Amino acid sequence: MDEVVQEIVKCDFGQTARDVVKVLQDYGGMTVGKITKLVQYERIDVKNVLIVLIKHGLIDFKAANEGLEVAGDQDFKVYDIKNDQIFNRLRFGRFLTMDLKIEGEATRTLEENREILLKIIEVGSLKGTPEMTDLAKSGYIVQAEYDIQLGLQAEEDDGEEKYKLEEELKAEQEAETSDLIVDPRKFYILNTRKFIHQIRNQELKTLAAAKLDSHGSDHIKDGVGKIIVGLFLDNSNYIDKSENFENTEILSLSQIKEKLKEMYDQVAEEDKASADLIKQLYVDEIKLKANLDRIQSDSLECLKKENVDPVTGEPFYSIKVHHMVNVLQERCCEKIIEETFDTYHKRVYKILSHRGYLDENEVVRECFMPPRDVRRILNALFQEGIIETQEVPNKSGNMVSLFSTNFKKVRLQYYTKMIKMLLNCKKRLEFIRQKLNDKSMTWTLDEEEANRNAIYKLEYFCSDLERSIMIFSEF
């Protein structure tokens, strides 16, 4: 991942910034003086790079041993890199194309809000303005955690304070006490977790639709699964990684009905088919409970009945977000195995991941495949590191090989591979773009078109890789 991060920084901020980031990755938290010695650039250049990267939220800093000298370095701040934030820069294009869900009544259009987001992405952070109200109240932007200019701005403000009129000072004091959504004295940065939370919700809704809504008359009616799962996800305020909270907030049956009414009001004019389904659910409580029970008993196991109110007998429900993310990650692994090998390899992997320890004969019975093919597939998956084997004695005392798979190990293995593939794609993209921009080279129309087609395909492949990486690392 470190090489990918360096490549991203190089593309966006240049070679000097890349070298500074590499030093921080290799040696951890360091002062400006130590960074300068290692990268062999001028101190002012290193400091300017650090200021730019901090402004974009890519570097963190803290005081180093306050009250003590740090090897004669006048700058006592220790700087450290934020790999995750740098990696999120690959997702900015997707962030800008998303539908922004504004809380309450919007004061600006979608395009105007996207323009503000684009400005913040370009410069890293912006001082608060009334135009940012929609984005701030909906959580798409948040206040920066520290002074962007590393104290330089504060020094300038101290000098200007002496010359301010009494009326201006009074107005600023009133602004401090007023209840503003956006503080004009603060800097605002992109809240990447909010965007990832919205993308995660969309991916999990798609999973719910695929698993719950397309089975037949004995299962949930088409569309209901996605509606109910989406209701819980959209009303959840947990935007962190799913491993940190497991489930959404619990909702009672009456709360679910109220949320369905609100959902109906929102989609009544845009999507009449979905609106009719939603109305049937909140009007008919028996039908709603029946669908909740069916979702709970489905093989996806995404709905959890928390408890029942002892007084009213009303049940409470929540969605198992972390479990659904694990299912989504498993499907990604299965897709990669199918694309790397074929459907038969995926079938063997799925059986081993669900059934656990099986010997060769048991795998043959489960897969309905010839023993020779099963043996070949098991050998290929073992060599790839996807399955594991261990020798155990059977009833007659002979040693038998049992095959199994470790999902966490497989996930980490494919995550590492995808990172390397993404790095190679980024380097290839940069190489082709440099060739096209090289004025000393001449291209025929066919050659230029071939290069542009290659760029398009690589960008699409990078986007697909980045989606899978996000599912593995950020959901």
How far are the Cα atoms of 82, 338, 348 from residue 342, in angstroms, in the given order? Answer: 38, 4, 10
Q: Which CATH number goes with the domain that contains 366?
A: 1.10.10.10
Which residue, 30, 55, 83, sits at the end of a domain? 83
- Tell me, yes or no, whether 350 and 274 share the same domain: no
Classified as helix, coil or strand, 65 is coil
DSSP state of 123: H
Range with the poorest average pLDDT among 65-69, 277-281, 434-438, 457-461: 65-69
- With pLDDT > 90 as the criterion, what percentage of the chain qualifies? 12
Place of tokens 């969605």: 319
pLDDT at position 392 is 83
- Encoded amino acid at 100, one letter: L
Using 50, 70 and 90 to split pLDDT, how confident is the model at 154? Answer: very low
Number of structural domains found in the chain: 5
The helix (H) or strand (E) run that includes residue 433 is helix 407-437
- The token pair that represents 454 in the structure block: 């290659």
- With pLDDT > 70 as the criterion, what percentage of the chain qualifies? 87
- Encoded amino acid at 438, one letter: D
List the one residue out of 379, 340, 383 whose CA is nearest residue 363: 379
- Tell me, yes or no, whether 312 and 330 share the same domain: no
The residues near 298 (Cβ < 8 Å, ≥ 6 apart) are 211, 212, 219, 220, 225
Place of tokens 């380097």: 427
Other CB atoms within a 10 A radius of the CB of residue 447 amount to 13
- DSSP labels, 248-309: ---EEHHHHHHHHHHHHHHHTTT-HHHHHHHHHHHH-HHHHHHHHHHHHHSTT--EEEEEE-
Using 50, 70 and 90 to split pLDDT, how confident is the model at 156? Answer: very low
Other CB atoms within a 10 A radius of the CB of residue 363 amount to 21
* 377 part of a folded domain: yes
* 91 part of a folded domain: no
Note the pLDDT tens digit of each residue in 324-373. 999 999 999 998 899 888 899 999 999 998 888 888 888 888 888 888 99
- Tell me, yes or no, whether 125 and 66 share the same domain: no
- Tell me, yes or no, whether 354 and 450 share the same domain: no
Using 50, 70 and 90 to split pLDDT, how confident is the model at 396? Answer: confident
- Tell me, yes or no, whether 417 and 386 share the same domain: no
* 74 part of a folded domain: yes
Place of tokens 């190679």: 424
Most confident of 3-7, 214-218, 318-322, 414-418: 318-322
Range with the poorest average pLDDT among 16-25, 140-149, 159-168: 159-168
- Tell me, yes or no, whether 245 and 311 share the same domain: yes
- Tell me, yes or no, whether 361 and 314 share the same domain: no
Contact at 8 Å (CB) between 83 and 5? Answer: yes
Note the pLDDT tens digit of each residue in 397-441. 778 888 999 888 888 888 888 888 888 888 888 888 888 888 777
- Tell me, yes or no, whether 260 and 336 share the same domain: no
Note the pLDDT tens digit of each residue in 172-203. 555 554 456 788 888 888 999 999 999 999 99
Mean pLDDT of 226-238: 90
The DSSP bridge pattern shows strands 251-252 and 388-393 to be unpaired
pLDDT at position 115 is 92
pLDDT at 280 over 80: yes
Range with the poorest average pLDDT among 210-214, 229-233, 466-470: 210-214
Range with the poorest average pLDDT among 17-31, 141-155, 303-317, 352-366: 141-155
State the average pLDDT for the chain: 82
- Tell me, yes or no, whether 14 and 38 share the same domain: yes
Task: List the domain range (segments joined by +) for residue 363.
Answer: 324-405
- Tell me, yes or no, whether 425 and 398 share the same domain: no
- Tell me, yes or no, whether 396 and 419 share the same domain: no
* 215 part of a folded domain: yes
Range with the poorest average pLDDT among 18-32, 240-254, 302-316, 323-337: 302-316
* 90 part of a folded domain: no
* 282 part of a folded domain: yes
* 176 part of a folded domain: yes
Which residue, 20, 48, 83, sits at the end of a domain? 83
- Tell me, yes or no, whether 182 and 112 share the same domain: yes
Q: Where are the alpha helices (DSSP H) in 30-151?
A: 32-39, 43-55, 83-87, 92-97, 110-123, 133-137
- The token pair that represents 285 in the structure block: 């409580």
pLDDT at position 68 is 44
* 93 part of a folded domain: no
Which residue, 349, 377, 405, sits at the end of a domain? 405
pLDDT at position 161 is 46
